[in-house]
Amino acid sequence: MTTKQQPLGTPFTAASTADEVLDGIDLSGTNVVVTGGHTGLGLETTRALAEAGASVTVGCRNPDRAAALAGVERVEVAGLDLLDPASIDAFAHRYLGSRRPLHILINTPGSWRARCSGTPAATSPSSPPTTSATSN
């Protein structure tokens, strides 16, 4: 069965900002996880959600590189390398240990460098063999 796509009927366009989309929405009491929320589209997403009242946990491979989030209220940064199963497990256990419900999960676009034999990125035996990976 084939269904023809239909417009959603939204007042927003490709030029709309996150602030415009969230205008008038109160996300107080909402818990959000944003992967890669410390740079690019993820940073804008994190900032807008926090300004709307959400509590945001940002998962990033290197938390030391999340300086752009310093001082942003209701945002915490946690280590999360999506190519390392042990890192994913540790992130999940920490979040579950907080006993907060997860209301929204946003996986922002990202890219990873190739994992070539002998490079530091290839040292984890549990990591999948990857020559390149991106998400859009």
pLDDT digits (tens, 9 = 90+) for 88-126: 999 999 999 999 999 999 998 765 555 555 555 545 555
CATH number where 122 lies: 3.40.50.720
> Which pLDDT does position 136 carry in this prediction?
42
Residue 133, pLDDT above cutoff 90: no
Backbone Cα Rg of the chain = 17
**36 found inside a domain:** yes
Q: Domain span at residue 62? A: 26-135
Between 102 and 6, residue with greater pLDDT: 102
| Residue entry with tokens 């945002």 | 75
> Which pLDDT does position 111 carry in this prediction?
57
Between 135 and 83, residue with greater pLDDT: 83
**108 found inside a domain:** yes
Q: Which two tokens stand for residue 65?
A: 């590189």
**40 found inside a domain:** yes
**9 found inside a domain:** no
Judge whether 54 and 32 are in contact, CB under 8 Å.
yes
Residue 134, pLDDT above cutoff 50: no
**3 found inside a domain:** no
| Residue entry with tokens 């040292």 | 123
Total domains in the chain come to: 1
> Which pLDDT does position 14 carry in this prediction?
87
DSSP 56-124: EEEEES-GGG-GGGTT-TTEEEEE--TT-HHHHHHHHHHHHHTTPPP-EEEE--EEE----TTSGGG--
**107 found inside a domain:** yes
Average pLDDT, the chain: 85
Residue 34, pLDDT above cutoff 70: yes
